[in-house]
Homo-oligomer: A and B are copies of this chain.
């Protein structure tokens, strides 16, 4: 609250908006420096040439500014999108070359928008609650404001006062009015759309010297600081930079944060925006990069498309700017190198220079085990990334005990995903969307995203009574979050995180402890103890969505070879074909699959009777939108249930030499030595050795000594291998 008051205080002491241009993307001095460096560093030179080649193809030509008609992927959508990038780049070139033709290009296009925009009503393809005018959704209009605003600023000096007036009142005002008035609620929302909206209005404000715009952008339409850019910086990140919607959306939101912050840093330096909230923008970027796979793709938490990686344009700006503002960093340099291009500002110059000077750079981002809290105060659960091994042999377990993640959140409390050697092994479906493909519902999220991908059964966590967590209701899910109970991540031999979820289902408590264990002989084992408590009888489904070719299973199943039906009727179950099922009792379920050149075996103890289903996504998919991916689901019934599962990473398959090594799991038996409200103690036979995992299920005192089932330890957990304590 103090922070908020301090911010509002700025309002009371008017700071003159500087009249110097350019001031948003870069300043005059900065542009002169960039110009001097253009020939010096190959990456910079190349980036400049690419932009120049693209813009030169249009300079002097009549550029179409069509009346809006098509959804994403269609002509008018793509043309408007292309136009704003084009004028932004042309504006940069004007400053770097002084060639008036680039300014003319920007002027010509903006004047056309000045004619078009006042005539626009809601887009004919608008289907969302936040319709756009130039585009089908307001979000894209906000993108347009960001880039058109910077383009205007970049050529401001070349325009006459009359031209400025026409552009400001014709091109910008209708759009700004539209999103701040017609869509006021949307503009003031704490959500990634809001970041773009504020950045758009704010940048136009700075470019046109419109104080009102800048203030709305910073503090919301009501200028009370409950909305706007500052509130977004407070509300969308946890104190350690975790972005509420997940890493895929970090990528998207980080760009307007950095672009508007850069403009503010020039126009209102006293805000010290890059220092705000203990450098929250630095933390946001770095946490986003930590949440990527070896190939740079973002981990698929919540709605996410798996092809997006840190070479995205959005990240180029953030990485270059962070390098400049927050200082050198090997990880950033690696990412910049993989991006293969830089922004034409001082950050871009500086990182291109560093890459030119560097003798060698690592091929691997400096990934590490890390835990992020969630929520603006960091008290809404979290996400732990347990990492084991390094470079190409890196294994990452992502354990999610989070809050919901706004409108892009999934109903997946206590879920985990496993990545190994750059491949996704235990998977999260991500989102069902073909972005930029008009034929697929204009590139929008498809109904199967909410219908399947967001539902609990699409994740590696327990579904009770075939209903999703919080009954699949966002409004309810947004009120709760899971809670971490304890964790220990400093010892690479045993990393552990325990968390609970007590609100996903009425009357059912879920508690899951996951271990990343690295045995002395090199084997990696993910161990997972999942306890459920209820005073009533329920059905518990625990899915393992795996990515690979089924090699063998210990389960004697009945395959549905001649006729297939879905696993269920609703809550995502209707999208899973039932390929086989089995009824088993008191045994260890094993499933070995092959991914790339490595074997993986899931071993899960079943006490009493259970069913096992082998499923594949793709049912009830009349428009061929889903991928067809396999899962094994273990179903138990009862009041209190305990699942203990191990996923072993083992062996090697060489299709060229036609050799397999260690293709069989070393997990031979799992049994409980103790399993009650207070303790879970399991003994796992790993070939001829015993692995013992002992944990508390409550009272996690780190000093307390326990002695049970013939073993003794201190604190909330202990792992023994071959009689030796590993942690």
Contact = CB atoms under 8 A, between A and B. Distances in A.
A274 interface: no
Per assembly, the copies of the chain total 2
B562 A437 contact: no
B659 A439 contact: no
A620 interface: yes
Contacts of A439: 551-552, 592, 663-664
A437 B624 contact: no
A311 interface: yes
B561 A564 contact: no
A82 B654 CA distance: 13
B434 A561 contact: no
Among the interface residues A307, A566, A624, which one has the most CB atoms of the partner chain B within 10 A?
A624
B81 A659 contact: yes
A561 B619 contact: yes
B562 A563 contact: no
Contact of A624 (B550, B574, B618): B550
A688 to B, nearest CB: 16
Contacts of A654: 436
Contacts of A523: none
Interface in A289-343: 305, 307-309, 311-313
Interface string A72-95: 110000100110000000000000
Interface string A418-443: 00000000000000001111111001
Contacts of A559: 621-622
A357 to B, nearest CB: 26
A587 B594 CA distance: 44
A78 B616 contact: no
A583 interface: no
Contacts of A660: 73, 78, 436-438
A619 B82 CA distance: 46
Contact of A312 (B434, B437, B579, B656): B656
B616 A628 contact: yes
Among the interface residues A309, A618, A621, which one has the most CB atoms of the partner chain B within 10 A?
A618
A655 interface: yes
A219 to B, nearest CB: 31
Interface string A268-301: 0000000000000000000000000000000000
A297 to B, nearest CB: 11
A656 B81 CA distance: 14
Given A628-B628, A663-B73, A561 B621 contact: yes
A661 to B, nearest CB: 8
24 contacts: A72-B658, A73-B663, A78-B659, A78-B661, A434-B549, A434-B551, A434-B594, A436-B653, A436-B654, A436-B659, A437-B653, A437-B663, A438-B660, A439-B664, A559-B622, A561-B620, A561-B621, A562-B574, A562-B619, A562-B620, A563-B563, A564-B565, A579-B624, A616-B628
